[in-house]
Structure 1
Amino acid sequence: MYKLSIKKIIRLAAVTLITCSLFSCMSDKSEQSKSFSVQITDKPLTFCNPITLDFGTDRARRAGEAVVAIHQDDYYLFITGLRGYWYSGNMRDWTYVDAPDIPGGCPSVASDGERLIVSGDKSRRDVYASADPKSGVWEKVGYYDREYGDADMFIDDDGRYYMYWGWSQILPFQVVELDPDNGFKEKGKPVTLFFGDYKSHGFERRRPEDVIFSIFSYRDYLPEENPWIEGPWMVKHNGKYYLQYAAIGLELSTYSHGIYVADNPMGPFKYSPHNPLTFKTTGFMVGAGHGSTFHDKNGQLWTIVMIPSFYGGRGSGELALFPTAVDAEGVMHSNTEFGDYPQYYPGIKENAVANNFTGWMLLSNKKYVEVSSTLEGYGPEKAVDEYFLTHWCAATGDPGEYMKVDLGKICDIYAVQVNFDRHDAKLEMGRGFRMPPSLSQYQSYTVEVSGDNENWSMLIDKSNNTVDNRHDYTELAKPVKARYVKLTNVFTHDEGKFAVKDFRIFGNPDVAKFTKVKDIMVVRDPDDPCKAKLLWQPVDGADGYVVRYGIQPDKLYNDYLVYDDYTLDIHSLNRDQEYYFEVEAFDSGTDYFHEKTRQTMGIGAEIELFRDREMLARKMIVEGKNEYVFENIIPGTYQLRHTFGPNMWVGDLTKEQLIGSDNQVTLSEKISDLGVGTKVLGQLNIKVIPGKENGKFVVTLNYDKP
């Protein structure tokens, strides 16, 4: 180490974080609940971030500023921009309640044991309560003295009420006591708690390279402007008051949470030097800000966060969930290591902050992909690149468009997550109260598996899908063995093209390997201690690395997930703290598909087919794609050559060779060997296949050596 009245039963289809059961955080000394009761015993047991909220047959919409609260032994989930909410007995199976009377802004939710109390819209000071929130019936019970931006009402164990608020680049977080017997008016004067401090707290900084989408339509971000702090949320644990805040903005990959701690709800509050609480800038899913931390029914902590999303070229927000804990020394921390890999639902694993990761590894990352078609600029490699801002797009949204992933070997597959985009869709992803009309069918597809690329079995059949699900995660009833996994479009709604952000396949827990890296070099920036550079010795065959860091050797509570590199620039440190670092390699038991050098440095060539000296078509051949088909071939004299090069084949094609109904090859010839240097690695061949009205001229590349 280095120094929701309409009701529908729905399922929260998503995931959370990783655990450390396989890693060094096994030694985490987080305080445990005195007794643990398993809340879910039937499958599915897992979910995978990002979380998709199920709106029944309604369209998906922006989800953010989430609040989860327990009221009378049920979980309640509220999000911004929705006059409704969900409740659940187990955090997996949810019922949506339509509640048109509640404000619907950035939610503040608190339970006094008898009523659930809600407020939140900055322009509406109304406070509402319900003794039966499952009914959707609410009554106005108060009116605030002022507009509280990003309000959080907190009810202490002694029955006293407090309001925390703050949402600004300039203004501080504040707190004031409220009088519930007087319409929730203020008692006394507000107390200033803290401001942002980007000079001391690296994760609070706004950097141009972290901007995903701009909230400004009229200017760029300016270097002199302060980052935002927002989203106060109070959670009390073991007598301590933990005031959570979000830093710098949804539009940045560095959206995150920090914590201040106090012995009194009015403060004074002390900054936690172990911050950030949630921070995730690498992997498929990034960002981890403006949410809430809550106790589950076992007393274990979880943090639900808002993350940036991007569909059809438009930025928005979604949700993710991470296990959280307070250690024996009172330090609150979350586990985001494998935060976008399959995780167990709350109430399944005791000490979830250390044991929640399933161990199901990502098998599809950087694998070879075959597709039915590609829209220029949106290649198939983008559907297996672990980057939510990119996507593969087929040329159409027609049924039958497909992508097929070669995992490289037979693997044990436990779960699949399909992440869709909205390329050229006629309607954008919705947000707010006014939504486009719902549909009877949304993105529909099938997933098939094969061991030999010839014999296929249906794995998932969603040919008539009625749920608008951006991140469709499926935990298999039992693992299957396969090498090839095929995703096929059945229907794409809103006249869009079939587009996939990432087709993520998980499994191989029994062969996964984790290796501590011995040689690490860390250089702390002497002019800006919030930054550090890391370099480590690569581990052969590693899929990636977990970089853990913290201010004590046994409290490495922060992390980065690194793919495709063995260096890292860290910019999230606290200026006045010394740090320890650790790097661990992980390997799924599969190898990345590496584009062979000759594919990009010499073996590719443009070929041309002429008929009677008139060019019919050009095609660029590369190793990795084995067939190149020239359609609509009629009788005549043909020449195959490469551009500006010699003829490779000249010959007459007759009616007898080109017209027929049995699809049997009528001409097959070897044209040339293929190779590098003195090595012969394959052959360039041609064949002619007849059709009812015309034939096909097919050029094939056959490599028999690596």
Structure 2
Amino acid sequence: MRHSKEIILILLTLIALESYGQALRQQTYCNPLNLDYAYATRFDSLSYRSGADPTVVGFRGEYYMFVTRSMGYWHSPDLHTWSFVRPEKWYFEGSNAPTAHNYKDSVLYVTGNPSGSMAILYTDNPKKGDWKAVPSVLADLQDPDLFIDDDGQAYMFWGSSNKFPIRVKTLDRTNRFIPSSGTIELFNLDGEKHGWERFGENHSDTVLRGYIEGPSMVKHGGKYYLQYAAPGTEFNVYGDGVYVGSTPLGPYEYAPNNPFCYKPGGFINGAGHGSTVKGPANIHWHFATMAVDVNIGWERRIGMFPTYFDADGLMYSNTAYGDYPHYAPDVPGKMGEFTGWMLLSYRKPVKASSYIRDHPAASITDEHIKTFWVAEQNDSQQWLEIDLENTGTVHAFQVNYNDYKSDLYGKPGGLYHRYLIEGSLDGKDWRILVDRSQNYREVPNDYVELGAPERVRYIRYRNIQVPTPYLSISEIRVFGVGEGDVPTSVDNLEIRRGADRREALLTWSDPGNTQGFNVRWGIAPDKLYSSWLVYDQCELELRGLNVDQEYFFTVEAFNENGISERTTVTKAE
């Protein structure tokens, strides 16, 4: 009997390795990232997965990701494939907003603590996780960020408040990181000048003040880029801004293209409270928090966006089509580029084996992460069928599971998602496109790039096993290229920037044959670094502009067949 159990364990391990190997061969990724997120531990009666406030740091040619309250952290050789590390020594279940710093590839430091009174952890072997601690030296701070400059001088930045600014102390690295007696206040939100720093969904709350939080330092080109998040983690407009200084202690100058990382539209929103890391081929990537906000505002996921510094030193992230497939950081010559695979499944008709009231099957194709299908059972008899209505070439799928009454907490083992996806041209003869029947890993936001594209019209999801009491899916997203016409260019673009210079109303005409539109804007015709993707509407109210900044805009239409030409770049008057 013992030998039989050992054989079964070996087989399961080989299957898991094969699954991991398939992930390694994928050249693309899709937000939100498919990590085995931990379940919450703070609310005994409320179960939900969450990952937020990511810090990603390079160490000895590899990468480590630290995420709020995750019972450990993740390791990656390439910023593309991630495996969870259960360290030998850790603290609590993890911290709020942990940050990490690589000191000359000799020591990896981690900071952060739920209570605000914290130690600094360190190790030279994060794969093993034999963490040690410098005794607690700082108190009454949240969202700390340790930064050690090239000259060895250490600094501690922190801030998470709708009242207090981002602050900094110098630390004595040679003496247990003892802090200086003085504290320097660096900068705070100014919603009267910076529209994107205003609280609320679409910056619409005129009563409450926004939160400034999550400082994170990156040094580039001899300048210090101190990033920060605003205005609140649960909102579609959660983003990251940056101030730039010539020294870590300032003075700092507000970047005119703020927020530099911003994703208010599309399937999953938000791109705030993150960090920036230099990846393969010296390309930078910004990892950030994206909102789910179904069970609670703290229900979140992680996204990653290619990030650049232009000739004028402006830092910006490319979030255009930011939840569609892009080439991964380990794909030479293409890293960060949009694949051009469009959404074939948007608002297409769906049939289901069963559903419970208020959670119909149509929810899985509406491009809205906050709506979801719930089956009557969670067994292998449950299925979904999508009619794409037209034949198209499918390149990838993303299956986003939902935590409806999950009743799971912390980081238990033995959680698996197993399923099949089949395709058909006629709805009668089916062939398997994705086989997860032998998957023994958690894949809550499973993204699968096909080894070879498949031409189909019908898609069928067949459940085998989920770890939750209910089978619940927020979206099955089918990516590829349709066989119809690409939309023609948008006409009649009008931009009205009113007396409140933080706001602008854009309207345009629908050329027909469209799913939606991508609005791009920026501080110069050649610096259109921000974008907002909208479906089924021909207007957009922007409330996140900077008062003293001029802006330029363009709009493009898209559908399942591709993207139109952009309109002429137009200045907002």
Q: What's the secondary structure of 2:237's corresponding residue?
A: coil
Corresponding position of 2:159? 166
Q: What's the secondary structure of 2:180's corresponding residue?
A: strand
Corresponding position of 2:521? 549
The alpha-carbon deviation at position 452 of structure 1 amounts to 0.5
Q: Determine if contact 2:491/2:511 at 8 Å carries over to the other structure.
A: no
TM-score (norm 1): 0.71
Corresponding position of 2:402? 421
Corresponding position of 2:474? 501
Corresponding position of 2:59? 71
* Match status 1:581 vs 2:553: yes
Stretch moving more, 236-245 or 367-376: 367-376
2:252 maps to a residue whose letter is F
The change in CA–CA distance for 1:407 and 1:41 in structure 2 (over 3 A counts) is closer
* Match status 1:404 vs 2:363: no
Q: Determine if contact 1:143/1:184 at 8 Å carries over to the other structure.
A: no
Q: Work out the CA distance in 2 between the residues paired with 1:540 and 1:522.
A: 21
The alpha-carbon deviation at position 535 of structure 1 amounts to 0.7
Aligned alpha-carbon RMSD (Å): 2.9
The alpha-carbon deviation at position 459 of structure 1 amounts to 1.3
Corresponding position of 2:100? 109
Q: Determine if contact 1:445/1:489 at 8 Å carries over to the other structure.
A: yes
Q: What's the secondary structure of 1:275's corresponding residue?
A: coil
The change in CA–CA distance for 1:163 and 1:351 in structure 2 (over 3 A counts) is farther
* Match status 1:454 vs 2:428: yes
Q: Determine if contact 1:210/1:253 at 8 Å carries over to the other structure.
A: no
Q: What's the secondary structure of 1:150's corresponding residue?
A: coil
The change in CA–CA distance for 1:167 and 1:55 in structure 2 (over 3 A counts) is closer
Q: Identity across aligned pairs (percent)?
A: 36
* Match status 1:347 vs 2:338: no
* Match status 1:144 vs 2:137: yes
The alpha-carbon deviation at position 140 of structure 1 amounts to 2.1
The alpha-carbon deviation at position 334 of structure 1 amounts to 0.6
Q: What's the secondary structure of 1:383's corresponding residue?
A: helix
Corresponding position of 1:572? 544
Q: Work out the CA distance in 1 between the residues paired with 2:134 and 2:484.
A: 58
TM-score (norm 2): 0.87
The change in CA–CA distance for 1:511 and 1:343 in structure 2 (over 3 A counts) is farther
Corresponding position of 2:568? none
Q: What's the secondary structure of 1:547's corresponding residue?
A: strand
Q: Work out the CA distance in 2 between the residues paired with 1:395 and 1:122.
A: 39
Corresponding position of 1:205? 198
Corresponding position of 2:340? 359
* 1:293-350 residue CA offsets vs partner (Å, 9 max, x unmatched): 1111322111000111245577512100001100001111111111100111113254
* Match status 1:239 vs 2:232: no
Q: What's the secondary structure of 1:324's corresponding residue?
A: strand
5+ residue gaps, structure 2, are 1-12, 41-46, 564-573
* Match status 1:86 vs 2:77: no
Q: Work out the CA distance in 2 between the residues paired with 1:569 and 1:273.
A: 20
Q: Work out the CA distance in 1 between the residues paired with 2:202 and 2:363.
A: 20
Paired residue for 1:330, among 313, 316, 325?
313
Q: Determine if contact 2:518/2:532 at 8 Å carries over to the other structure.
A: yes
2:139 maps to a residue whose letter is R
Corresponding position of 1:637? none
* 1:151-202 residue CA offsets vs partner (Å, 9 max, x unmatched): 1111112222111111111111112221111110123622111011111111
Q: Work out the CA distance in 1 between the residues paired with 2:280 and 2:416.
A: 35
Q: Work out the CA distance in 2 between the residues paired with 1:295 and 1:151.
A: 21
5+ residue gaps, structure 1, are 1-7, 15-39, 212-221, 592-706
2:543 maps to a residue whose letter is H
Corresponding position of 2:44? none
The alpha-carbon deviation at position 351 of structure 1 amounts to 7.4
Corresponding position of 1:605? none
Q: How does 1:491-640 map to 2 (within 5 A)?
A: 491-496=465-470, 498-508=471-481, 513=486, 515-526=488-499, 528-589=500-561
Q: What's the secondary structure of 2:127's corresponding residue?
A: helix
The alpha-carbon deviation at position 510 of structure 1 amounts to 8.3
The alpha-carbon deviation at position 552 of structure 1 amounts to 0.7
How many residues align structurally? 537
Paired residue for 1:135, among 128, 151, 154?
128
Q: Determine if contact 2:147/2:217 at 8 Å carries over to the other structure.
A: yes
* Match status 1:376 vs 2:348: no
The alpha-carbon deviation at position 445 of structure 1 amounts to 1.9
Q: Work out the CA distance in 2 between the residues paired with 1:271 and 1:189.
A: 24
The alpha-carbon deviation at position 401 of structure 1 amounts to 2.1
The alpha-carbon deviation at position 41 of structure 1 amounts to 12
Q: What's the secondary structure of 1:501's corresponding residue?
A: strand
* Match status 1:473 vs 2:455: no
* Match status 1:438 vs 2:413: yes
Q: Work out the CA distance in 2 between the residues paired with 1:165 and 1:81.
A: 18
Q: What's the secondary structure of 1:374's corresponding residue?
A: coil
The change in CA–CA distance for 1:247 and 1:281 in structure 2 (over 3 A counts) is same
Q: Work out the CA distance in 1 between the residues paired with 2:297 and 2:215.
A: 27
Larger radius of gyration: 1
Corresponding position of 2:10? none
* Match status 1:262 vs 2:242: no
The change in CA–CA distance for 1:349 and 1:555 in structure 2 (over 3 A counts) is farther
Q: What's the secondary structure of 1:227's corresponding residue?
A: coil
Q: What's the secondary structure of 2:196's corresponding residue?
A: helix
* 1:45-65 residue CA offsets vs partner (Å, 9 max, x unmatched): 111110121379999842111
Q: Work out the CA distance in 2 between the residues paired with 1:448 and 1:56.
A: 30
Q: Determine if contact 1:143/1:185 at 8 Å carries over to the other structure.
A: no
Q: Determine if contact 2:109/2:120 at 8 Å carries over to the other structure.
A: yes
Q: Determine if contact 2:271/2:290 at 8 Å carries over to the other structure.
A: yes
Paired residue for 2:183, among 177, 190, 199?
190
2:441 maps to a residue whose letter is V
The alpha-carbon deviation at position 481 of structure 1 amounts to 0.7
2:103 maps to a residue whose letter is D
Q: What's the secondary structure of 2:63's corresponding residue?
A: strand
2:112 maps to a residue whose letter is G
The alpha-carbon deviation at position 474 of structure 1 amounts to 0.5
2:358 maps to a residue whose letter is G
The change in CA–CA distance for 1:450 and 1:351 in structure 2 (over 3 A counts) is closer
Q: Work out the CA distance in 2 between the residues paired with 1:305 and 1:333.
A: 13
1:49 maps to a residue whose letter is N
Paired residue for 2:301, among 318, 338, 353?
318
The alpha-carbon deviation at position 147 of structure 1 amounts to 3.5
